[in-house]
Structure formats: C-alpha cells, structure tokens
Structure 1
Amino acid sequence: MDPVIIVGAGPVGLTLALALARQQVPSVVLDEGPGKDEPRLARTVVLREDTAALVRRLTGADLDRAGLRWAGWRSMRRKQVIREVSFDDMAGPDVTADATGVPATAGPAPLHIAQHVLTGALRAALERETLVKVVADSRVDGVEQETSGVTVHTRGPKGTWWRGSHLVGCDGPRSTVRKLLDVRFPGRTAVERHAVAALRVELPWADEALLHRTPPWRMSGPSAGEVTGRPLPEDVWRLDWLLPPGKDLVTPELLVARIRETLAGWSDGPTPAYELLDTGVHTVHHRLARRWRVGRVFLAGDAAHLLGAFGAQGLDEGLRDADNLAWKLALAWHHGPHEALLDSYQAERRAVVSARLRAADQALPLLRGGGGIRAYVPGAARGHDMLLTDGHLGRGPLGAVGSYAESPLAPRHLEAEVPVDTPPGAQVQDVRVTAEDGSFVQLRDRLGRGALLVLLIAPGTGVWERRHWVSAGIMPRLAAAVTALPSPAELLVAESYPGAAAHTVLLIRPDGHLVAALNGVRAADLYAAAEAALGGPAGAEGAQETQGSKGAQGTKGTKGAQEASTAGAAAGSTAK
C-alpha cells in the first residue's frame, strides 16, 4: 500500500511521521525548506505535560536537559507578588491561598524549549527510522485524489509526482494544501502583538516564569501592557512585551530601551549585565479552517488553526492533532476504510480548538480592556491575573487539555459503566502499570502503538510475580474478552487509579483518552465500547478489504459482542 504523504517538516509534520512509523505505517515528508532549521532562541515553544510526554516517547530525547521545566510562575503587579505557584509538590488539585487571598493550585510544570531544539530532536529520531522518507526542497503545487489514493506534484530540484494513500497538510498558516482544497480559513488578524528578545542574564527568580501585568516603570515608545519572562537553560531568558494595537514599528533602539527598563525594574537597581542573543516580533492570529478533512486529505497544526493569545500555545494543539490522527490513519491503512473513524478527527479536534478560541475571544475584552469592570469590581484584577496565568500554565478554558466527551466515538448506554476521576473522553492520568510480560512501566509509555489499552485495577498485584496473578481471579475472563475485541488491544494491570475501585476495567484509546470505565469484566460492554471507539462496525467495503485480518472483526457488531461475552464466560468456567 502507498505511504502517507505529509506536507510540511515542522514539529507537527515530523511528529506525525514518527507517530505513524511507530504503528508500522510508512510516510513521505515533503519539506519545502532545505531540511534543516535555523537556530532562533527568540522562537520558543511551551509543551504541556501530555505533549512533552508524546515527543519524549517518539524521540527518546531528554527534553528536560534541552529545555527547562518552570519551577513556578510568579505573577506580579506593582512590585507585589500576588500569586506564586510551586511545582515541587505534584499533588494535583489541592487548592490553597497565598497572602493576598488569590487561590493557587499545584500541577505539572510546562516545558519551555527552543523550537529548533525540538525540531532537531524529531529530525534525529527520523534519521533512525526506515519507514519515513524526508524530501527537502519540495514545494507542493498540485493535489489530485480519487477513491484509491492521492497524487501530489512538487516543483523544485526534485520536482516529481508522488503517490500516497492519504495526504496530511502540516504546512503552516499559509498552507498550500489548504488553498488547493479551497478550504476557507476565517478568523481574526493580529489579535495580539509582542516584541520578543532572547538574552543571557541573571534575574532574581531562577527557573521561574515571570508575568508582570502592569509594570510601574515608564516604558519607552507607545504605552505597553504586560511583560513576560520565560527561562531557558544556561541563564537564557525569553522576554515578551505586549504591544498596543496598531502597526507601530518596533525599532532596535526601542527594543533595547525596553530591555534595559524591564531588567532595571525587576532588579530594583541599575540594569544588570546582559547579552542580547535574538529578537523578533510575534503576532498572534486566531483562525480556524472550515474543514479539516476533504476525502483522503487532512489538515493539521497551523494549517488548520491559529491561536496563541494569553499564553495558549498553538503548537501544543498541533501535536495533539498529530496524536489524534496518527492512530486513526494507521487503522485505516492496515485494515481498510474506517470512514466514521477518520471523520472523527475533524469532529474531535476542531471542537476542542474552537472551544479554546471562543474562551480567548470572551476573555479578551476583560483582560485587555483597560477600564470597565476592572476599575469598579474589587479583586477583579486578581481574578484576571489568575485567568491569564491559567492560560500560561495550561489550565482552565484557556489552556487545559481538551476532552472528547461529545465525540462521535463515545459509546452509548453501557450498563456496567462506572465513574472514575477521569471522565470519559478526557486524557487518562499517568500511573505505573504491569505489562503483559511482567515489566513495570508507565501507562503513557504504552500509548501510540495502534492498540487499544485495557487496564484492570487490581490492588496487590504489584507485589506478586506475574505467574501468580495472571491466571487468578477474573484475569482469565478478562484476557479472553480482550482477545475477542474488534481491534488489537493490550491488557495492563495497575495497583490503583484515581477514583477507581478494585476490579474496575478502563478502556483507553491509543492517544490516551478514556473510552469507558466498567465495573468488572463485562465482555459485551467492553466489546461495544471498543467498537464505538473505532467508529462503529466497519462498512461492507471495509469488510471486503480486511478479510482474514483482525480488523475485520469490527464487522461483527452485536454478534461480535455476544461472542466476546461467550468467550469470557467460557474462560471463567475453565478458571474455576
């Protein structure tokens, strides 16, 4: 079968290629550029816990050495620290209050890393990957598709025709693929504009990101709002100054003046010594493509959406696009058409990004409006500081990982479903599990392999050898039910999971989102949940193309659920 064609060799395109390769799907990455990335310290990205784990799993790179996990986030207003969050205690949702009465919650620290370092780690991993071919200096200028595949033409030194099973446009805001598909990209231009500088300097707050909403010192040039400082390794900081609306030119002289004023203000004295390494102007646009799938062609990353106000990171969402799409494409590539499953990519990802854009648009008048409610409601400024900080830290409507609770893949009417601390559709928490070979691993390490995960909560198994518990209790029945599922699945065991009682069974998608939690071994419900997560029973066309493969079991429907239940019951009888 033809490889998947990926247009664009940025972080999203490279991540998608690696994710497909981990699921034994070949791909061709068409890179418009020369195949390498210019080092730019003023161009950085923030990875939340889930996306950092995704990149680490795909590359094996120690990102924490290349980037920096914020030890905290210090939010300041008029020299007074109004909120400080420590990430030394990863306890989670406990809410406390500091001296000013502003609530603070502990949580996983985001990772700040230069984009060229991230891309370099992805490229290095691809060099070891035989299933991926990266072709530099290849600009797409034509796309044709039919029911059996996609044909792409590139111009340049290596201009030629390429044949693929599917095409994914990861080619950025000015996406050629999107334009060739005639997909509209409505939204707002220049929602925010920032002057950016990367410099080497020692600041009083080591390894803490800084947010200063209303600096009391005078700013050179047009009036400006907040200043943020994000640490990088080796005493390097990225500083961002929010610019007023308009198109005022940011001259080198103006930028240097702001650097000196900010450093002096933060240091309570003269400007400390610094080395200016890189500068730039970052403009935030908010746009959302009308369609993310047209036949066999998909859009991902900046080609599908642009966002980034209030610290929200568009790259984070782009990596989640790749993670969501990879396992669905892999299933279709190996087992034939799964149209409902492929359609769910747009339904799930577009809904999540749309909700985040709406949240940002609703918050803009409050956080950037100057007067209004902030001038009259006591404590409103502190509340806005928290909302803004949540965006930077990846929490709340501006920054939290999206849930697929309303997904078309969500199962309906499961009699044995029980609640746990992770609602259906949300990302599962990372716990230690025992794999089928008896090894102890983290749950997230088993994601992205193309298989569903079935996790049994069984207290006490962590201290037993596998040979003692693998044939005890409900394990034989559960193993039989897992074998009968309509798609390959891996059976895991955990001592505990937040909010889950003993013998709870969790069904987890390959991208780490919870399908359902069931009370014990209910083979019919487990089968129904798995079938729903795969888009329902495969169509007649899919069944014909997948005869003899395990994927063809997805055509069994209710009959398959009955067979799974019978197999589980038989295994239970044998165990007795």
Structure 2
Amino acid sequence: MDPVIIVGAGPVGLTLALALARQEVPTVVLDEGPGKDEPRPARTVVLREETAALLERLTGVALAEHGVRWAGWRSLRRRQVVSEIVFDASGPAPLHIAQHFLTGLLRGAIAGEPLVKTAVDSRLDTIEQDRSGITAHTRGPRGTWWRGSYLVGCDGPRSTVRKLQDIRFPGRTAVERHAVAALRVELPWEGQALLHRMPPWRSSGPSAGEVTARPLPDGAWRLDWLLPPGKDLVTPEDLLTLIRETLTGWSDGPTPTYDLLDTGVHTVHHRLARRWRAGRVFLAGDAAHLLGALGTQGLDEGLRDAENLAWKLAAAWHHGPHETLLDSYQTERRAVVAARLRAADQVLPVLRGGGGLRQILPGAARNHDTLLSDGHLGRGPLGAPGTYADSPLAPRQLEAEIAVDTPAGAPVTDVRVTAEDGSFVQLRDRLGRDALLVVLIAPGTGVWDRKHWVSAGVMPRLAAAVTALPHPAELLVAESYPGAPAHSVLLVRPDGHLVTALSGVRPADLYAAAEATLGGAVGVEQEQPREEQAAARAGSGAR
C-alpha cells in the first residue's frame, strides 16, 4: 500500500510521521524549506504532561533536558501576590521549550527512521484523489509527482492543502497582540512562571496591562507584554522601554543586567476550518485551527491532532478503511478545539474590560486571575485537555460499565503496569502501537512474579477475551487505578483515552466496546468510500 503523504515539516507534521512509523506505516514528508530551522529563542511552546510524554515516547529524549518544567506559578495584581502554586504539591508541571529545539529533536529521530522519507525544497501545488489513493505534485528544484494512500495537511495557517480542497477558514483576526522578548537575566522567581496584571509602573512606551514571564534553560526567560488594541507599530525602542521598566519594577534596585536574545510581536488569531477531512485528505495543527489567547497553546493542540489521527490512519492502512473511524478524527478534535475557542471568545471581553463576568460564568469561576492561570497552566475550560465523551466511537449500553475517576473519553492516568513479558512499565509507554490496551486491576500482583498469577483467577478468561477482540490488543495488569475497584477491566484507545471501565471480565461487553472504538461492525457499505456509497444509493433510488 502507498505511504501517507504529510505536507509540512513543522512539529505537528514530524510528530505525525513518527507516530505512524511507530505503527509500521510509511510516510513521505514534503518540506517546503531546506530541512533545518533558524534558532528563535523567543518562539517557544508550553506542553502539557500528556503531550510532552507523547514526544518523549517518539523521540526517546527527555524533553526536560532541553526545556524547563516550571517549579511553580505565581499571579500578581499591581504589587500584590494573588495566588501561588507549587507543582510538586499540586500535580504535573507544564514544560516550556524553544520550538526550534523541539523541531530539531523530531528531525533527529526521523533521520534514523527508515519508514519516513523527507523531501526538502518541495512545495505542494496539486492534489488529485481517486478510488485507490491520492496523487500530489510538488514544484521546486526537485518537483515531481508523489503517490500516497492518504494526505495530511500540516502546513500551517496559510495551508496550501486547505486552499486546494476549497475549505473555508472563518474566525477572528488579531484577537490579541503581544510584544515578546527572550533574554538572559536573573529574576526573583527562579524556575517559576509569572503572570503580572496591572503592573504599577507607568510606561513611557506602549502601555502593557499584563506581562507574563516563563523560564527557559540556562537562565533565559520569555517575556510577553499584552499590547493595547490597534495596529500601532512596536519599535525596537518601545520594546527596550518595556524590558527596562518591567525588570526595574520587579527588582528592588536598579535595572538588572540582561542579555537580549530575541524579540518579536506575536499576533493571536482565532480560526477554525469548516472541515478537517475531504475524502483522503485531512488537516491538522494550524492548518485546521488557530488559537492562543489567554495562554492556550495552539501547538499543544496540534500535537494532539497528530496523536488522534495517527492510530486511525494506521488502522485504515493495515486493516482496511473504515469511514466511521476516519470521520471520528474531525468529529472529536474539531469539537474539542471549537469548545476551547468558544470559551476564550466568551471570557476575553470580560477579562479585557467589557461586560460582567456574572453573565457568563457562575460561582467560583468569577475570579479573573484563576481563569487566566487556567489557560496558561492547561486547566479548566480554557486549557484542560479535551475529552471525547460524545465521540461516535463511544460504546453504548454496556451492562457491566462502571465509573472510575477518569471519565469515559478522557486521557487515562499514567500508572505502573505489568506487561505481557513480565516487565514493569508505565501505562503511557504502551500507547501508540496500533493496539488497544486492556488493563486488569489486580491488587497484589506487583509483589508476585507474573508466572504465579498469569494462569490463575480471571486471567485465562480475560486473555482469551482479549485474543478474540476485533483489533490487536495488549493485556496489561495494574495493582491499582484511581477509582477502580479490584478485578475491574479498563479498555484504552491507542491514543491514551479511556473507552470504558467494566466490572469484572465480561467478554461480550469488552468485544462490543472494542468494536465501537473501531467505528462499529465493518459491513460492505462501510468498507466502500463515501463517494461510492452515495453513488450506490443514488443508483438504487433511480431504479
């Protein structure tokens, strides 16, 4: 079968290529550029725990060696500390890393991956689909025709793939603007990120009612100043004024010595593509959505697009196309991003000075600083990872289904499990292998050698049920899982989202849940491309 064609060699495209390679799917990555990235210290990304784990799994590199996991988070208003969070006590910390470092790690991993071919200086200009695959043409010094099974546009906000498929990209332009600087300086909050609203110093340059400081390796920091609405030019002199006034305001004495590494102006747009799938063509990352106000990290969502799409394309590539499964990529991911965009668009006018918060968000959510912190930290409606509870892949009416601390459709908690070879591993380490995961909760198994319990109790019956599933699956055993009683069974998708939790070994329910996860039973009509289905129905009506 032909490889998957990936257009765009940014972090999302490279992640998708590696994720497919781990599932034995060959890819061709069309890179419009020369195959390397210019270092830009002021262009960084904040990754949530699950996304950082995905990248570490694919690259084999501990990202903390190239970035910083924040020790804490501090919110200030004028001169008062409003809130302070220490991550050792409250949960996993966000990871802050320069984007060019991240891209370099992904390129390094791809260089040793025989299933990934990268074509540099290759700009896409034509896409043609047919019943059996897709053909793409690139121009440039190495312009040629490429044949693939599917094509994924990871080619950014001005996506050529999206334009060639005539997919609309509505939304809002210039929702916010930020002046950005990366500098090496000693600040009072070592390792902690900071959100400072309404700083008390009087600016002689462009007014900045909010400034954020995020630590980077080697004593460097990224500072972002929220600029007032409008298109006023931010001159180098203006930016230097902001830097000096901010550093002076944060110190007890004169302006501390600093080394300016990089600067820029970051403009936030909010856009959402009408469709993320057109036959054999898919969109991911900035080609499908733009978001970034209130701390929401667009690249983090793009990487989640890649993880969601990879296992579905791998299933179609290895086991034959299933339209419900492939359609679910758009249904699941577009709904999550749309919800985050709606939340940001509702809250923005309130936080930036218009309307009453009571009209939109009740109760404890009325605290502006909490809302902003949630966005920056990957929590709450502005930042928490999305769930797929309403997915078309969610099983229905399982008699043995029980509730655990992880809602159905949400990312699973990373617990230690025993693999089939008897080794102890983390649950997340088994993700992304074109296999479902079946996890038995069996207290006490961690203190006994696997040979003593693998053939005892419910294990033989569960192993037989796993073997009979309609998709490859791996059986794992955990001593405990949050909220799960003993002898319960969890079914987990290859991208780490919980399908269901069952009370005991229920082969029929387990099979039904696995079948639903793959889009339901594959019938003759479902195996046909949608264009052929429509033609068949039209012909039937004509008769």
TM interval, shorter chain, is over 0.9
Aligned twin of 1:549: none
Aligned twin of 2:15: 15
Q: Distance in 1 between matches of 2:523 and 2:284?
A: 26
Aligned twin of 1:280: 264
Q: Distance in 2 between matches of 1:285 and 1:509?
A: 32
Which of 266, 270, 279 in structure 2 is aligned with 1:295?
279
Secondary structure (helix, strand or coil) at the match of 2:82 reads: strand
Aligned twin of 1:36: 36
Q: Distance in 2 between matches of 1:317 and 1:527?
A: 31
Q: Distance in 1 between matches of 2:25 and 2:526?
A: 18
Aligned twin of 2:189: 205
- Following superposition of structure 1 onto structure 2, how do residues 21-170 of structure 1 map, counting pairs within 5 Å? 21-89=21-89, 106-170=90-154
Which amino acid in 2 is paired with 1:25? V
Q: In angstroms, what is the RMSD of aligned CA positions? A: 1.6
Is 1:330 matched up with 2:302? no
Q: Distance in 1 between matches of 2:523 and 2:83?
A: 55
1:328-369 CA distances to partner (integer Å, 9 max, x unpaired)? 000000111111100000000000000000000010011111
Which amino acid in 2 is paired with 1:158? R
Q: Distance in 2 between matches of 1:229 and 1:457?
A: 43
1:283-309 CA distances to partner (integer Å, 9 max, x unpaired)? 000000000000000000000000000
Q: CA deviation at 1:492?
A: 0.1
Secondary structure (helix, strand or coil) at the match of 2:204 reads: coil
* 8 Å CA contact 1:2, 1:164 repeated in 2: yes
Secondary structure (helix, strand or coil) at the match of 1:265 reads: helix
Is 1:224 matched up with 2:185? no
Q: CA deviation at 1:88?
A: 1.5
Aligned twin of 2:506: 522
Is 1:505 matched up with 2:489? yes
Distance verdict in 2 for CA 1:369–1:262, change over 3 Å = same
Which amino acid in 2 is paired with 1:68? V
Which amino acid in 2 is paired with 1:368? R
Q: CA deviation at 1:505?
A: 0.1
Aligned twin of 2:325: 341
* 8 Å CA contact 1:32, 1:139 repeated in 2: yes
Of the structure 1 ranges 143-152 and 380-389, higher mean CA displacement relative to structure 2 is found in 380-389
Q: Distance in 1 between matches of 2:138 and 2:374?
A: 43
Q: Distance in 1 between matches of 2:217 and 2:105?
A: 16
Secondary structure (helix, strand or coil) at the match of 2:375 reads: helix
Q: Distance in 2 between matches of 1:544 and 1:334?
A: 16
* 8 Å CA contact 1:82, 1:382 repeated in 2: no
Which amino acid in 2 is paired with 1:203? L
Q: CA deviation at 1:380?
A: 9.4
Q: Distance in 2 between matches of 1:143 and 1:228?
A: 42
Q: CA deviation at 1:381?
A: 11
Aligned twin of 2:373: 389
Q: Distance in 2 between matches of 1:417 and 1:428?
A: 16
Which amino acid in 2 is paired with 1:10? G
Aligned twin of 1:445: 429
Q: Distance in 1 between matches of 2:492 and 2:354?
A: 45
Which amino acid in 1 is paired with 2:73? W
Which amino acid in 1 is paired with 2:505? V
Which amino acid in 2 is paired with 1:63? L
What is the TM-score with the length of structure 2 in the denominator?
Answer: 0.95
Q: CA deviation at 1:522?
A: 0.3
* 8 Å CA contact 1:452, 1:489 repeated in 2: yes
Distance verdict in 2 for CA 1:384–1:436, change over 3 Å = same
1:395-421 CA distances to partner (integer Å, 9 max, x unpaired)? 000000000000000000000000000
Q: Distance in 2 between matches of 1:360 and 1:371?
A: 14
Q: CA deviation at 1:370?
A: 6.1
Which of 209, 232, 235 in structure 2 is aligned with 1:248?
232
1:422-450 CA distances to partner (integer Å, 9 max, x unpaired)? 01000000000000000000000000001
* 8 Å CA contact 1:35, 1:136 repeated in 2: yes
Q: CA deviation at 1:221?
A: 2.4
Q: Distance in 1 between matches of 2:183 and 2:366?
A: 29
Secondary structure (helix, strand or coil) at the match of 2:519 reads: coil
Q: CA deviation at 1:537?
A: 0.9
Distance verdict in 2 for CA 1:60–1:202, change over 3 Å = same
Which amino acid in 2 is paired with 1:480? A
Q: Distance in 2 between matches of 1:332 and 1:373?
A: 46
- Following superposition of structure 1 onto structure 2, how do residues 185-200 of structure 1 map, counting pairs within 5 Å? 185-200=169-184
Q: Distance in 2 between matches of 1:84 and 1:219?
A: 26
Q: CA deviation at 1:220?
A: 2.6
* 8 Å CA contact 1:335, 1:542 repeated in 2: no
Which of 308, 331, 343 in structure 1 is aligned with 2:292?
308
Which amino acid in 1 is paired with 2:508? A
Q: Distance in 1 between matches of 2:200 and 2:91?
A: 30
- Following superposition of structure 1 onto structure 2, how do residues 165-180 of structure 1 map, counting pairs within 5 Å? 165-180=149-164
Aligned twin of 1:487: 471
Q: Distance in 2 between matches of 1:461 and 1:540?
A: 44
Distance verdict in 2 for CA 1:411–1:228, change over 3 Å = same
* 8 Å CA contact 2:394, 2:499 repeated in 1: yes
Secondary structure (helix, strand or coil) at the match of 2:367 reads: helix
Q: CA deviation at 1:539?
A: 2.6
Q: CA deviation at 1:382?
A: 7.9
* 8 Å CA contact 1:142, 1:153 repeated in 2: yes
* 8 Å CA contact 2:365, 2:371 repeated in 1: no
Secondary structure (helix, strand or coil) at the match of 1:324 reads: helix
Q: Distance in 1 between matches of 2:252 and 2:45?
A: 29
* 8 Å CA contact 1:420, 1:500 repeated in 2: yes
Q: Distance in 2 between matches of 1:160 and 1:542?
A: 34
* 8 Å CA contact 1:286, 1:306 repeated in 2: yes
Is 1:472 matched up with 2:456? yes
What is the TM-score with the length of structure 1 in the denominator?
Answer: 0.90
Q: CA deviation at 1:534?
A: 0.3
Q: Distance in 2 between matches of 1:542 and 1:192?
A: 44
Q: Distance in 2 between matches of 1:371 and 1:493?
A: 52
Q: CA deviation at 1:223?
A: 2.4
Is 1:457 matched up with 2:441? yes
* 8 Å CA contact 2:323, 2:526 repeated in 1: no
How many pairs align? 526
* 8 Å CA contact 1:338, 1:539 repeated in 2: no
Aligned twin of 1:404: 388
1:448-494 CA distances to partner (integer Å, 9 max, x unpaired)? 00100000000000011011000000000000000000000000000
Q: Distance in 2 between matches of 1:32 and 1:58?
A: 23
The gaps in structure 1 that reach 5 residues or longer are 90-105, 546-576
Secondary structure (helix, strand or coil) at the match of 2:163 reads: helix
Aligned twin of 1:564: none
